[in-house]
Amino acid sequence: MKKFGIIGYPLGHSFSPGYFNEKFRNEGIDARYDMYELPVITDLQAIIDYTPDLCGFNVTIPYKEKVMSYLDNISPEARAIGAVNVVKVTHRENGTPYLEGYNSDIIGFSRSIKPLLERHHKKALILGTGGASKAIRYGLHQLGLETLSVSRTSKDKTIRYEQVTKDLLQDYTVIVNCTPCGMAPHFNECPVLPYEALTPQHLLYDLIYNPDETLFLKKGKAQGAITKNGLEMLLLQAEAGWEIWNG
């Protein structure tokens, strides 16, 4: 039986085990997907050493960057992003494991948002500067958009939320929320923006998929903006990971 899994800490929120184990059952695949909750990244070596049937694993918070030092090869996209969320495990002729790192977040996001982009969508605001935002920025650049990141605190090459003005939103007609603001159970929270400046020319994309429609998206929809949550991205990045493991 092939084994797959996910590393991170904590893992109670993870969508991956249910998704992949259901996929294995439905498609008659002789495989199992487990959760490897690692309090410290150094515990990864024991997982590799004592799970000889491990063919690949996903990586989630807080190890998308730290895992890179354990890998034998990293895809150009993942290296440019600076984060890995899919690891393929094979073995050399002498039996030692060979670990390759990829980033499927960029694949899922790009495939999900591309059909929604119009010619007037030239600039995008990225809310948040965490690990996921790196893949989003890279994907938007690949799709030809200029980006600007927004943070709660002052950082290089970012602006703060209070600097997002109505005038700024005239140019930045794509807004992607990469923060947990609005995620269940905090249904009544949303990033602080001048939502009244949004128009039907705007596209709001939220990486959150629980709830289906965050307050961020509701406020955008009320102004006529196109809105989309992160569920399709999640499904597409999971399938991209499966393609990597079996490619």
- What residues are labeled active site? 64
Q: Report yes or no: 132 and 177 within 8 Å, Cβ to Cβ.
A: no
The amino acid at residue 157 is: K
Strands 31-37 and 2-8: parallel
Tell which residue, 60, 67, 71, 81, has the closest CA to residue 5.
Answer: 60
Question: Which pair of tokens denotes residue 2?
Answer: 């092939």
- SS3 label, residue 70: helix
Strands 97-102 and 86-91: antiparallel
Cα–Cα dist 38/20, whole Å: 20
Tell which residue, 204, 242, 247, 185, has the closest CA to residue 26.
Answer: 242
Question: Which pair of tokens denotes residue 203?
Answer: 């596209």
- SS3 label, residue 23: helix
Cα–Cα dist 29/74, whole Å: 27
